[in-house]
Amino acid sequence: MNDAKNIIKDQIKDLVEDQNLNLSDDTPLIGDGSPLDSMNIVNLCLRLEDIAESRGFSFDWSGETMSKSKSMFKSISDLADELSKQQKSK
């Protein structure tokens, strides 16, 4: 899980080209306070797809809701949780 959180944080910093960006586990990925625009959320998912593939599993983000209450993009922690869950169920 910590591994997943770190992967996501590294990818976000890379996408926004700011290695000093202050990110916490609770940083939201959609709505106010998100460091990512919608284009970079898609780019983040594509990068996570590639990382998952290199680790022998598929990361499926299609059909994901953008609802603030239910989305896996609610926070870095929620996305990491989903990534870890999909890895375990491979």
Partner 1 sequence: MIIISGATRGIGKAIYESLKPDYKNVIGLSKNGDNKLGIIKCDISNLSSVKSAANEIKKIDKKAYAFINAAGVASMNLALATPEEIIKKIININLVGTIFTSQVFSPFLIRNGKGRIINFSTIAVKLGIKGEAVYVASKAGVEAYGRTLAKELSPFKITVNCIAPGPIKTDLIRGVTDKQIRNITDQQIFNKTMTPNDIVDIVKLLLSEGSKHISGQSLAVGGS
- Least spacing, CB of residue 45 vs partner 1, in Å: 8
Distance from chain centroid for Cα 68: 14
For residue 1, which of 90, 76, 71 has the smallest C-alpha distance?
A: 76
Residue 63 touching partner 1 (CB under 8 A) = yes
Structure-token pair, residue 17: 């080209």
User: How far is 58 from 68, CA to CA, in rounded Å?
Assistant: 24
For position 56 contacting partner 1 by CB under 8 A, the verdict is no
Q: For residue 1, state whether it binds partner 1 (rule: CB under 8 A).
A: no
- Contacts with partner 1 by CB under 8 A lie at 38-39, 42-43, 45-46, 49, 58, 60, 62-63
